[in-house]
Amino acid sequence: MTVLDKLTSEEAIALENNYGAHNYHPLPVVLSRGEGVYVWDAEGKKYYDFLSAYSAVNQGHCHPKIIDAMVQQAKTLTLTSRAFYNDMLGKYEKFATQLFGFDKLLPMNTGAEAVETALKLARKWAYEVKGIDENNAEIIVCENNFHGRTTTIISFSNDPVARKNFGPYTKGFIKIEYDNLQSLQEALESNQNIAAFLVEPIQGEAGVYVPSEGYLAAAKKMCAAHNVLFIADEVQTGIARTGRLLATCGNCSCEEKNCSGTPEVKADILILGKALSGGAYPVSAVLANNHIMDVIQPGNHGSTFGGNPIAAAVAMAALEVVADEKLAINADALGIIFREELAAFANENDLVKSVRGKGLLNAVLINDTEESSTAWDICMKLKDNGLLAKPTHGNIIRFAPPLVMNKEQLMDCISIIKKTITEFK
Protein backbone atom coordinates (compact mmCIF):
# COMPACT_ATOMS: atom_id res chain seq x y z
CA MET A 1 0.00 0.00 0.00
CA THR A 2 1.41 3.42 -0.93
CA VAL A 3 0.29 6.83 0.22
CA LEU A 4 -1.44 7.38 -3.15
CA ASP A 5 -3.52 4.20 -3.04
CA LYS A 6 -7.24 4.93 -2.85
CA LEU A 7 -9.06 3.24 0.01
CA THR A 8 -12.72 2.47 0.37
CA SER A 9 -14.45 3.89 3.45
CA GLU A 10 -14.58 0.43 4.95
CA GLU A 11 -10.84 -0.08 4.47
CA ALA A 12 -9.97 3.33 5.91
CA ILE A 13 -12.09 2.75 9.01
CA ALA A 14 -10.59 -0.70 9.53
CA LEU A 15 -7.06 0.71 9.33
CA GLU A 16 -7.79 3.44 11.89
CA ASN A 17 -9.46 0.94 14.18
CA ASN A 18 -6.60 -1.52 13.95
CA TYR A 19 -3.60 0.78 13.99
CA GLY A 20 -4.77 4.00 15.64
CA ALA A 21 -5.38 4.68 19.31
CA HIS A 22 -9.09 4.78 20.05
CA ASN A 23 -9.12 8.29 21.50
CA TYR A 24 -12.05 9.49 19.35
CA HIS A 25 -15.45 8.11 18.42
CA PRO A 26 -15.90 9.45 14.88
CA LEU A 27 -19.13 9.40 12.92
CA PRO A 28 -18.62 6.54 10.42
CA VAL A 29 -17.86 8.67 7.37
CA VAL A 30 -14.47 8.77 5.64
CA LEU A 31 -13.70 12.11 4.06
CA SER A 32 -11.28 12.34 1.21
CA ARG A 33 -11.82 15.83 -0.26
CA GLY A 34 -13.06 19.25 0.79
CA GLU A 35 -13.88 22.51 -0.94
CA GLY A 36 -15.60 25.48 0.66
CA VAL A 37 -18.63 24.28 2.63
CA TYR A 38 -18.53 20.80 1.08
CA VAL A 39 -16.68 17.57 1.78
CA TRP A 40 -16.76 14.30 -0.17
CA ASP A 41 -16.37 10.79 1.17
CA ALA A 42 -14.15 8.08 -0.25
CA GLU A 43 -16.97 6.89 -2.52
CA GLY A 44 -17.61 10.41 -3.83
CA LYS A 45 -20.76 11.26 -1.86
CA LYS A 46 -21.02 15.00 -1.19
CA TYR A 47 -21.91 16.48 2.21
CA TYR A 48 -22.34 19.87 3.80
CA ASP A 49 -19.79 20.19 6.58
CA PHE A 50 -21.64 21.51 9.61
CA LEU A 51 -18.79 21.07 12.09
CA SER A 52 -15.88 22.83 10.32
CA ALA A 53 -13.35 20.70 12.24
CA TYR A 54 -14.62 22.14 15.53
CA SER A 55 -14.59 25.69 14.10
CA ALA A 56 -11.10 25.50 12.59
CA VAL A 57 -12.27 25.64 8.98
CA ASN A 58 -14.12 28.96 9.21
CA GLN A 59 -12.70 30.07 5.85
CA GLY A 60 -13.98 26.89 4.15
CA HIS A 61 -12.08 23.79 3.07
CA CYS A 62 -8.92 24.30 1.03
CA HIS A 63 -9.40 28.04 0.60
CA PRO A 64 -7.26 28.82 -2.48
CA LYS A 65 -5.63 31.91 -0.97
CA ILE A 66 -4.62 30.05 2.18
CA ILE A 67 -3.43 26.97 0.29
CA ASP A 68 -1.45 29.14 -2.15
CA ALA A 69 0.26 30.90 0.76
CA MET A 70 1.03 27.54 2.35
CA VAL A 71 2.37 25.91 -0.83
CA GLN A 72 4.41 28.95 -1.77
CA GLN A 73 6.00 29.11 1.67
CA ALA A 74 6.50 25.33 1.78
CA LYS A 75 8.56 25.57 -1.40
CA THR A 76 10.67 28.37 0.05
CA LEU A 77 11.35 27.71 3.73
CA THR A 78 9.45 25.48 6.16
CA LEU A 79 11.19 25.48 9.52
CA THR A 80 14.13 27.22 11.09
CA SER A 81 13.23 26.79 14.77
CA ARG A 82 13.54 29.94 16.85
CA ALA A 83 17.27 29.38 17.15
CA PHE A 84 17.39 31.75 14.16
CA TYR A 85 15.14 34.49 12.88
CA ASN A 86 12.97 33.85 9.83
CA ASP A 87 11.66 36.49 7.47
CA MET A 88 7.94 35.65 7.92
CA LEU A 89 7.35 35.58 11.67
CA GLY A 90 7.89 39.28 12.38
CA LYS A 91 5.60 40.28 9.50
CA TYR A 92 2.86 38.04 10.85
CA GLU A 93 3.35 39.23 14.44
CA LYS A 94 3.04 42.87 13.36
CA PHE A 95 -0.04 42.10 11.27
CA ALA A 96 -1.82 40.11 14.00
CA THR A 97 -0.96 42.39 16.92
CA GLN A 98 -2.24 45.41 14.97
CA LEU A 99 -5.39 43.57 13.97
CA PHE A 100 -6.24 42.43 17.49
CA GLY A 101 -4.87 45.49 19.28
CA PHE A 102 -2.10 44.02 21.44
CA ASP A 103 1.61 44.84 21.79
CA LYS A 104 2.95 41.33 21.37
CA LEU A 105 2.17 37.81 20.17
CA LEU A 106 3.64 34.51 21.32
CA PRO A 107 3.29 31.88 18.58
CA MET A 108 2.39 28.28 19.36
CA ASN A 109 0.78 25.43 17.39
CA THR A 110 -2.30 23.94 19.03
CA GLY A 111 -5.04 25.44 21.15
CA ALA A 112 -4.03 23.50 24.25
CA GLU A 113 -0.44 24.71 23.93
CA ALA A 114 -1.64 28.29 23.69
CA VAL A 115 -3.80 27.82 26.80
CA GLU A 116 -0.79 26.35 28.65
CA THR A 117 1.25 29.34 27.49
CA ALA A 118 -1.36 31.78 28.78
CA LEU A 119 -1.45 30.02 32.16
CA LYS A 120 2.34 30.13 32.47
CA LEU A 121 2.38 33.77 31.42
CA ALA A 122 -0.27 34.67 34.00
CA ARG A 123 1.55 32.85 36.80
CA LYS A 124 4.89 34.48 35.97
CA TRP A 125 3.22 37.90 35.80
CA ALA A 126 1.60 37.22 39.18
CA TYR A 127 4.97 36.52 40.84
CA GLU A 128 7.07 39.13 39.09
CA VAL A 129 4.64 42.01 38.63
CA LYS A 130 1.72 41.54 40.99
CA GLY A 131 3.96 40.31 43.80
CA ILE A 132 2.26 37.04 44.79
CA ASP A 133 4.58 34.74 46.77
CA GLU A 134 6.13 32.05 44.59
CA ASN A 135 4.03 28.91 44.04
CA ASN A 136 0.94 30.47 45.61
CA ALA A 137 -0.78 31.83 42.49
CA GLU A 138 -4.33 30.67 41.82
CA ILE A 139 -6.24 30.89 38.55
CA ILE A 140 -10.03 31.02 38.48
CA VAL A 141 -11.67 28.80 35.86
CA CYS A 142 -15.28 27.87 35.10
CA GLU A 143 -17.21 24.68 35.60
CA ASN A 144 -17.83 22.70 32.40
CA ASN A 145 -14.88 24.41 30.73
CA PHE A 146 -13.04 22.96 27.78
CA HIS A 147 -9.54 24.28 27.15
CA GLY A 148 -7.73 21.24 25.75
CA ARG A 149 -6.15 17.98 26.79
CA THR A 150 -2.82 18.54 28.55
CA THR A 151 -2.28 17.32 32.10
CA THR A 152 -2.61 20.80 33.59
CA ILE A 153 -5.70 21.67 31.56
CA ILE A 154 -7.55 18.47 32.41
CA SER A 155 -6.65 19.08 36.05
CA PHE A 156 -9.33 21.77 36.13
CA SER A 157 -11.84 20.04 33.87
CA ASN A 158 -14.93 18.54 35.46
CA ASP A 159 -15.50 16.04 32.68
CA PRO A 160 -14.83 12.63 34.28
CA VAL A 161 -14.06 11.04 30.91
CA ALA A 162 -11.33 13.59 30.23
CA ARG A 163 -9.89 13.37 33.78
CA LYS A 164 -10.19 9.92 35.24
CA ASN A 165 -6.90 8.08 35.83
CA PHE A 166 -4.77 10.90 34.49
CA GLY A 167 -3.84 12.20 37.95
CA PRO A 168 -2.03 13.46 39.93
CA TYR A 169 -3.42 16.79 38.84
CA THR A 170 -1.88 20.26 38.69
CA LYS A 171 -2.82 22.48 41.63
CA GLY A 172 -3.59 26.18 41.63
CA PHE A 173 -7.06 26.40 40.10
CA ILE A 174 -10.33 27.55 41.62
CA LYS A 175 -13.51 26.51 39.84
CA ILE A 176 -16.61 28.71 39.80
CA GLU A 177 -19.95 28.51 38.04
CA TYR A 178 -19.97 29.92 34.49
CA ASP A 179 -22.08 33.00 33.90
CA ASN A 180 -22.29 33.71 37.62
CA LEU A 181 -20.85 37.10 38.59
CA GLN A 182 -21.58 36.57 42.27
CA SER A 183 -19.33 33.47 42.30
CA LEU A 184 -16.59 35.38 40.55
CA GLN A 185 -16.87 38.26 43.00
CA GLU A 186 -16.66 35.87 45.97
CA ALA A 187 -13.66 34.04 44.51
CA LEU A 188 -11.85 37.31 43.86
CA GLU A 189 -12.57 38.64 47.35
CA SER A 190 -11.78 35.46 49.24
CA ASN A 191 -8.22 35.11 48.02
CA GLN A 192 -5.35 37.57 47.62
CA ASN A 193 -3.38 35.20 45.41
CA ILE A 194 -5.47 35.25 42.28
CA ALA A 195 -3.41 35.72 39.12
CA ALA A 196 -6.07 35.38 36.45
CA PHE A 197 -9.57 34.41 35.39
CA LEU A 198 -9.63 32.04 32.39
CA VAL A 199 -12.91 31.95 30.49
CA GLU A 200 -14.47 30.90 27.19
CA PRO A 201 -16.66 33.75 25.87
CA ILE A 202 -19.14 31.03 24.86
CA GLN A 203 -18.67 27.52 26.26
CA GLY A 204 -18.44 25.55 23.03
CA GLU A 205 -17.73 21.96 23.99
CA ALA A 206 -20.05 22.18 26.99
CA GLY A 207 -22.92 22.61 24.52
CA VAL A 208 -22.70 26.19 23.19
CA TYR A 209 -23.61 28.04 26.39
CA VAL A 210 -23.92 31.74 25.67
CA PRO A 211 -23.51 33.75 28.89
CA SER A 212 -25.93 36.49 29.88
CA GLU A 213 -25.65 39.84 28.15
CA GLY A 214 -22.96 41.89 29.88
CA TYR A 215 -21.42 38.95 31.80
CA LEU A 216 -18.00 39.16 30.16
CA ALA A 217 -17.77 42.94 30.45
CA ALA A 218 -18.73 42.86 34.14
CA ALA A 219 -16.32 39.98 34.79
CA LYS A 220 -13.51 41.91 33.14
CA LYS A 221 -14.30 44.95 35.29
CA MET A 222 -14.24 42.86 38.47
CA CYS A 223 -10.90 41.32 37.48
CA ALA A 224 -9.43 44.76 36.78
CA ALA A 225 -10.59 45.99 40.20
CA HIS A 226 -8.64 43.12 41.82
CA ASN A 227 -5.57 43.40 39.57
CA VAL A 228 -6.41 39.99 38.13
CA LEU A 229 -5.75 39.18 34.47
CA PHE A 230 -8.76 38.42 32.29
CA ILE A 231 -7.80 35.60 29.91
CA ALA A 232 -10.18 35.00 27.00
CA ASP A 233 -9.90 31.57 25.40
CA GLU A 234 -11.17 32.36 21.90
CA VAL A 235 -9.72 29.22 20.34
CA GLN A 236 -13.22 28.17 19.24
CA THR A 237 -15.16 31.45 19.36
CA GLY A 238 -12.58 33.66 17.66
CA ILE A 239 -11.91 34.53 14.02
CA ALA A 240 -15.45 35.53 13.03
CA ARG A 241 -17.20 32.37 14.24
CA THR A 242 -19.72 34.21 16.43
CA GLY A 243 -20.43 37.01 13.97
CA ARG A 244 -17.64 39.28 15.21
CA LEU A 245 -13.91 39.01 14.70
CA LEU A 246 -13.80 37.94 18.37
CA ALA A 247 -16.68 36.89 20.60
CA THR A 248 -15.33 39.41 23.14
CA CYS A 249 -16.04 42.15 20.59
CA GLY A 250 -19.60 41.88 21.94
CA ASN A 251 -22.01 44.08 20.07
CA CYS A 252 -19.40 46.37 18.62
CA SER A 253 -20.32 46.44 14.93
CA CYS A 254 -17.32 46.65 12.67
CA GLU A 255 -19.53 47.00 9.65
CA GLU A 256 -16.99 47.05 6.91
CA LYS A 257 -13.68 46.27 8.49
CA ASN A 258 -12.34 43.14 10.02
CA CYS A 259 -11.05 44.81 13.14
CA SER A 260 -11.56 44.54 16.84
CA GLY A 261 -12.67 48.21 16.87
CA THR A 262 -13.72 49.09 20.38
CA PRO A 263 -14.42 45.65 21.79
CA GLU A 264 -16.95 45.21 24.52
CA VAL A 265 -14.31 43.32 26.47
CA LYS A 266 -10.61 43.73 25.86
CA ALA A 267 -8.90 40.69 27.34
CA ASP A 268 -5.55 41.08 29.09
CA ILE A 269 -4.48 37.83 27.47
CA LEU A 270 -6.14 36.57 24.29
CA ILE A 271 -5.80 32.95 23.17
CA LEU A 272 -6.37 32.05 19.52
CA GLY A 273 -6.04 28.82 17.55
CA LYS A 274 -8.06 26.72 15.12
CA ALA A 275 -9.32 29.15 12.41
CA LEU A 276 -6.22 31.30 12.84
CA SER A 277 -4.95 29.04 10.08
CA GLY A 278 -8.23 28.34 8.32
CA GLY A 279 -7.76 24.72 9.30
CA ALA A 280 -4.83 24.33 6.96
CA TYR A 281 -2.10 24.00 9.56
CA PRO A 282 -1.77 23.97 13.37
CA VAL A 283 -1.34 27.62 14.37
CA SER A 284 -2.16 29.15 17.73
CA ALA A 285 -1.20 32.34 19.47
CA VAL A 286 -1.25 34.18 22.77
CA LEU A 287 -1.54 37.95 22.65
CA ALA A 288 -0.90 40.43 25.44
CA ASN A 289 0.51 43.89 26.06
CA ASN A 290 4.13 44.50 27.03
CA HIS A 291 3.57 44.87 30.77
CA ILE A 292 2.42 41.23 30.76
CA MET A 293 4.28 39.61 27.85
CA ASP A 294 7.65 41.04 28.83
CA VAL A 295 7.89 38.69 31.82
CA ILE A 296 8.72 35.99 29.27
CA GLN A 297 12.43 36.05 28.53
CA PRO A 298 14.71 33.79 26.42
CA GLY A 299 14.61 30.23 27.66
CA ASN A 300 11.39 30.61 29.65
CA HIS A 301 9.10 29.10 27.02
CA GLY A 302 9.10 27.88 23.45
CA SER A 303 8.28 25.29 20.81
CA THR A 304 10.32 23.97 17.90
CA PHE A 305 7.48 24.55 15.47
CA GLY A 306 5.91 27.63 17.09
CA GLY A 307 6.26 30.63 14.77
CA ASN A 308 7.53 28.65 11.79
CA PRO A 309 7.43 30.39 8.41
CA ILE A 310 4.60 28.25 7.00
CA ALA A 311 2.46 28.95 10.07
CA ALA A 312 3.13 32.68 9.75
CA ALA A 313 2.26 32.75 6.04
CA VAL A 314 -0.86 30.65 6.50
CA ALA A 315 -2.13 32.67 9.46
CA MET A 316 -1.70 35.96 7.62
CA ALA A 317 -3.57 34.62 4.60
CA ALA A 318 -6.29 33.14 6.81
CA LEU A 319 -6.87 36.46 8.59
CA GLU A 320 -6.91 38.31 5.28
CA VAL A 321 -9.60 35.98 3.96
CA VAL A 322 -11.76 36.72 7.01
CA ALA A 323 -11.52 40.45 6.22
CA ASP A 324 -11.73 40.25 2.42
CA GLU A 325 -14.80 38.02 2.45
CA LYS A 326 -16.47 39.80 5.40
CA LEU A 327 -16.92 36.49 7.16
CA ALA A 328 -17.93 38.02 10.50
CA ILE A 329 -20.79 39.90 8.86
CA ASN A 330 -21.87 36.78 6.97
CA ALA A 331 -21.76 34.63 10.13
CA ASP A 332 -23.82 37.21 11.98
CA ALA A 333 -26.52 37.38 9.28
CA LEU A 334 -26.73 33.64 8.61
CA GLY A 335 -26.72 32.85 12.33
CA ILE A 336 -29.82 34.97 12.84
CA ILE A 337 -31.62 33.10 10.05
CA PHE A 338 -30.51 29.71 11.39
CA ARG A 339 -31.80 30.40 14.91
CA GLU A 340 -35.06 31.94 13.68
CA GLU A 341 -35.78 28.96 11.44
CA LEU A 342 -34.84 26.34 14.05
CA ALA A 343 -36.71 28.14 16.84
CA ALA A 344 -39.87 28.14 14.69
CA PHE A 345 -39.30 24.46 13.93
CA ALA A 346 -38.88 23.70 17.66
CA ASN A 347 -42.41 25.09 18.21
CA GLU A 348 -43.90 22.51 15.89
CA ASN A 349 -41.62 19.49 16.52
CA ASP A 350 -41.52 17.72 19.88
CA LEU A 351 -38.03 16.34 19.36
CA VAL A 352 -36.44 19.78 19.25
CA LYS A 353 -36.47 21.71 22.50
CA SER A 354 -34.66 24.89 21.54
CA VAL A 355 -31.78 26.43 19.65
CA ARG A 356 -29.09 28.71 21.03
CA GLY A 357 -25.85 30.28 19.91
CA LYS A 358 -24.27 33.28 18.31
CA GLY A 359 -23.22 33.83 14.72
CA LEU A 360 -22.61 30.41 13.20
CA LEU A 361 -21.80 28.67 16.49
CA ASN A 362 -25.13 27.13 17.41
CA ALA A 363 -26.57 24.16 19.24
CA VAL A 364 -29.91 22.44 18.90
CA LEU A 365 -31.19 20.88 22.10
CA ILE A 366 -32.94 17.57 21.63
CA ASN A 367 -35.83 16.57 23.81
CA ASP A 368 -34.14 13.60 25.49
CA THR A 369 -31.73 12.92 28.34
CA GLU A 370 -28.04 13.76 28.35
CA GLU A 371 -27.26 10.05 28.53
CA SER A 372 -29.42 9.16 25.52
CA SER A 373 -28.01 8.45 22.07
CA THR A 374 -30.69 10.50 20.30
CA ALA A 375 -28.38 13.34 19.20
CA TRP A 376 -25.92 10.77 17.82
CA ASP A 377 -28.71 8.87 16.04
CA ILE A 378 -29.98 12.09 14.47
CA CYS A 379 -26.43 12.92 13.33
CA MET A 380 -26.28 9.50 11.65
CA LYS A 381 -29.50 10.30 9.76
CA LEU A 382 -28.21 13.78 8.88
CA LYS A 383 -25.15 12.07 7.42
CA ASP A 384 -27.35 9.83 5.29
CA ASN A 385 -29.10 12.98 4.09
CA GLY A 386 -25.85 14.74 3.18
CA LEU A 387 -25.04 16.91 6.20
CA LEU A 388 -22.31 16.27 8.78
CA ALA A 389 -22.72 17.45 12.36
CA LYS A 390 -21.63 16.04 15.70
CA PRO A 391 -23.29 15.86 19.13
CA THR A 392 -21.59 17.58 22.07
CA HIS A 393 -23.73 15.56 24.51
CA GLY A 394 -26.39 12.87 24.21
CA ASN A 395 -29.01 15.55 23.66
CA ILE A 396 -27.15 18.47 22.05
CA ILE A 397 -26.06 18.82 18.43
CA ARG A 398 -23.59 21.55 17.54
CA PHE A 399 -24.10 23.22 14.16
CA ALA A 400 -21.04 25.19 13.01
CA PRO A 401 -20.63 25.34 9.22
CA PRO A 402 -17.78 27.12 7.44
CA LEU A 403 -18.44 30.87 7.43
CA VAL A 404 -18.14 31.04 3.62
CA MET A 405 -21.60 29.50 3.37
CA ASN A 406 -24.16 31.53 1.40
CA LYS A 407 -27.83 32.01 2.18
CA GLU A 408 -29.04 29.56 -0.44
CA GLN A 409 -26.77 26.82 0.94
CA LEU A 410 -27.88 27.61 4.48
CA MET A 411 -31.56 27.31 3.51
CA ASP A 412 -30.80 23.99 1.84
CA CYS A 413 -29.11 22.81 5.06
CA ILE A 414 -32.00 23.99 7.20
CA SER A 415 -34.41 21.99 5.09
CA ILE A 416 -32.18 18.88 5.40
CA ILE A 417 -32.12 19.33 9.20
CA LYS A 418 -35.90 19.83 9.42
CA LYS A 419 -36.68 16.92 7.12
CA THR A 420 -34.29 14.59 8.98
CA ILE A 421 -35.70 15.43 12.40
CA THR A 422 -39.30 15.28 11.17
CA GLU A 423 -38.74 11.78 9.76
CA PHE A 424 -36.68 10.63 12.78
CA LYS A 425 -38.19 7.73 14.68
Q: Could you say which of 236, 242, 362, 420 contacts ligand PLP (CB under 6 A)?
A: 236
Catalytic residue, chosen from 100, 102, 146, 197, is: 146
One character per residue 30-49, x = contact with ligand PLP (rule: CB under 6 A):
--------------------
Half-sphere exposure for 276 (CA within 13 Å, toward CB):
34
Contact between residue 299 and residue 120 where contact means Cβ atoms under 8 Å apart? no
Q: Kindly tell me which of 93 and 200 has the beta carbon lying closer to ligand PLP.
A: 200
Minimum distance, C-beta of residue 204 to ligand PLP, in the bound complex (Å): 5
Applying CB under 6 A, does 200 fall inside the site for ligand PLP?
yes
Q: How many residues sit in the footprint of ligand PLP (CB under 6 A)?
A: 15
Of 58, 59, 86, 110, the residue at the interface with ligand PLP (CB under 6 A) is: 110
Q: Report residue 358: phi and psi, to 5°.
A: -145, 140
Told to check if 307 binds ligand PLP by CB under 6 A, we report no
Number of C-beta neighbours around residue 30 at 10 A = 17
Q: Which stretch binds ligand PLP (CB under 6 A): 58-66, 119-127, 197-205, 298-306?
A: 197-205
318-347 residues near ligand PLP, rule: CB under 6 A: none
Provide, rounded to whole angstroms, the least separation between the CB of residue 38 and ligand PLP.
23
Given 124, 220, 266, 274, the catalytic residue: 274
Decide whether 279 or 329 has the Cβ nearer to ligand PLP: 279
The residue among 201 and 325 lying less far from ligand PLP, judged by its C-beta, is 201
236 or 248: CB nearest ligand PLP: 236
What is the sign of the dihedral through the CA atoms of 292, 298, 301 and 302?
A: positive
Burial class of residue 12 (count of CB atoms within 10 Å of its CB; 0-12, 13-18, 19+) = middle
* Angle between helix 89-100 and helix 309-324 axes, rounded to 10 deg: 40
Tell me how far apart the alpha carbons of residues 229 and 113 are, in angstroms, rounded to a whole number.
Answer: 19
393 lies in the site for ligand PLP, by CB under 6 A: no
Residue 233 makes contact with ligand PLP by CB under 6 A? yes
Counting contacts by CB under 6 A, is residue 107 touching ligand PLP? no
Q: Identify residues 253-282 at the interface with ligand PLP (CB under 6 A).
A: 273
204 in contact with ligand PLP (CB under 6 A): yes
Q: Can you tell me which of 106, 142, 154, 235 binds ligand PLP, judged by CB under 6 A?
A: 235
Least distance between ligand PLP and beta carbon 332 (Å): 20
CA atoms in the 13 A half-sphere facing the CB of 57:
24
Distance from C-alpha of 170 to C-alpha of 43, rounded to nearest angstrom: 46
Q: Is 233 a catalytic residue?
A: yes
Query: Does 205 help bind ligand PLP (rule: CB under 6 A)?
Result: yes
Alpha-carbon distance 296 to 270, whole Å? 16
Specify which residues 139 forms β-bridges with. Answer: 173, 196
Which of 48, 50, 54, 156 is the binder for ligand PLP (CB under 6 A)?
A: 54
Q: Between β-strands 138-142 and 173-176, what pairing exists: parallel, antiparallel or unpaired?
A: parallel
Q: How far is CA 372 from the centre of its chain?
A: 26
Judge whether 133 counts as a catalytic residue.
no
- The piece of 231-239, 261-269, 309-317, 345-353 that touches ligand PLP (CB under 6 A) is 231-239
As beta bridge partners, residue 12 has none
Residue 363 β-bridge partners: 356, 398
Contact pattern from residue 111 through residue 150 relative to ligand PLP, giving x for each residue in contact according to CB under 6 A and a dash for the rest: xx--x------------------------------xxx--
Q: Which residue is nearest to ligand PLP (CB)?
A: 111
Contact set with ligand PLP (CB under 6 A): 54, 110-112, 115, 146-148, 200, 204-205, 233, 235-236, 273
Active site residues: 146, 233, 274
